[in-house]
Amino acid sequence: MGTPRAGAPLAEQVEELLAGDGPLAIVTAGDPVLRRGAERFDGQLEPALFARFVDALRRTMHAAPGVGLAAVQVGIPLRIAVIEDPAQVPQEVRVARGRVPQPFRVLVNPAYEPVGTGRAAFYEGCLSVPGWQAVVARHETVRLTGADEHGNAVDEVFTGWPARIVQHETDHLDGTLYLDRAELRSLASAEAMARRWTQPTPGAAAHALGFDLP
């Protein structure tokens, strides 16, 4: 796979990134690109290159696998993200978390604001922080604004797990990782999650590990 040259024009960085075959390499915590915040997309990639980049993000998200991926997570500091969630989880998880299927979406220059005061806390992970999860309290409902891949305006309300996804990916574009918002006493390895904390809600973890839920 290609490796973009830091400091090169963004279009050149993307061309170099797409030079290889297969999924793109996902940048992990500790890389400055995840902390700088992304540049507003304003045509830095011509349409054909933009389409190839979006397709690569989609393929990389599927291969990971994940339900969202931001451009910064592959080293490109542009305000572009993709989301998709088949929500193939047990019914009790769907109900507890408000997790419903989401079709593939491209988010360009996304921003969100809370709708109401409700908050929900669940375990959350990140492809850029592999092997760990932690409880994050997020807005239950948000209004997302921005554009789609065709330049059409997006102004939509998300609730439940879809709201969590769009908050997580938009945060990436602002240089924020989910751990910045997490209850660190809840931090759990993948092994601990599988053995102890796979319940639909984190109530048992809160009681055992000593943290409060909203």
Active site residues: 169
Cβ-proximal residues to 107 (8 Å cutoff; 6+ apart), any chain: 80, 81, 82, 83, 144, 146, 148, 154, 166, 169, 170
Whole-number Å distance between alpha carbons of 70 and 34: 10
In angstroms, the CA 34 to CA 22 distance is 22
Contact 174, 164 (CB under 8 A): no
Q: How are the residues of the chain apportioned to helix, strand and coil, as percentages rounded to the nearest 5?
A: 35, 30, 40
